[in-house]
Amino acid sequence: MNLIALPAFSDNYIWMLHDDANAVVVDPGDAAPVEAALEQRGLRLAGILVTHHHADHVGGVDRLRSRLDGPVWGPAREAIPAPFVALQDGALIEVLGRRFQVIDVPGHTAGHIAYFELGAPRAPLLFCGDTLFSAGCGRLFEGTPAQMAASLARLTALPGDTRVCCTHEYTLSNLRFAQAVEPDNLAVQGHTARCMTIRSTGEPTLPSTLALELEINPFLRCSEPAVAAAALAQGADSTQPVAVLAALREWKNRFR
């Protein structure tokens, strides 16, 4: 099975999974890069997975329907282009012969879902949309810090070798923020150097892994004393993890 990140807009990725005959794509905000990839490789489009309703994730769905031979799957609690198979937490779907489980991850949007590959012997796939980014998390447009904290906790309970397929190339700017939060975190420094090299060739810094994210992502490190202390200095009400996450998110929103 092949996994490709198709660049779209300025910093989106449309993930494509294919077996050299059939392909599925995740969050096609734009149809053009998907059409080009299908044609270049001679692939049939066998399904579309959607994580949440934002235009940069669903904008290409309707145009792709003309060549789609399979379902559009999406979150039951969001208005995405109909018709689609509405998925609730815990739902199981079969995608190119692999099974994926739906995980509710409210926070960025109210009905945001993620797709986790079940039964993979190693390195299962996680399509997490705009919930978890490498070294960051999504903005809280429709959810609370407590919801985002709970959603991130559900994701970090997955295996450490899980491949984290986020939908934006925000890694370097997130790492700059991570460095401001934890100036002494050597994993952040090491990964920053690696990602600078990767980006200088134009390659994606993704997928990441959950094990790496636990070391470098401040939003997954709210219980670390250094992270809590940094959040307190930025106005957190307490060192409770949810209060720390709330303060980090506010800080990140104004961080340049």
54 is catalytic: yes
- Closer to Zn ion by Cβ: residue 47 or 111: 111
Sole window of 12-20, 54-62, 85-93, 246-254 interacting with Zn ion (rule: CB under 5 A):
54-62
Q: What character string, x for contact with Fe ion (CB under 5 A) and - otherwise, covers 33-72? A: -----------------------x----------------
Q: Phi and psi for 164 in degrees, rounded to 5?
A: -90, 105
Which of 242, 58, 210 has its CA nearest to residue 145? 242
User: What SS3 state is found at 15?
Assistant: strand
Site membership for Zn ion, residue 130 (CB under 5 A): yes
Q: Does the CA dihedral 209-126-150-194 come out positive or negative? A: positive
C-alpha dist (Å) from residue 239 to 194, 246, 251: 31, 11, 15
The minimum distance between CB 55 and Fe ion, in angstroms, equals 9
Which of 256, 250, 255 has its CA nearest to residue 237? 250
User: Cis link prior to 204 (omega < 30° from 0)?
Assistant: no
Q: What character string, x for contact with Fe ion (CB under 5 A) and - otherwise, covers 96-135? A: ----------------------------------x-----
Catalytic position from the list 27, 30, 53, 56: 56
Q: Give the binding site for Fe ion (CB under 5 A).
A: 56, 130
Residues tagged active-site: 52, 54, 56-57, 108, 130, 168
Q: Give the binding site for Zn ion (CB under 5 A).
A: 54, 130
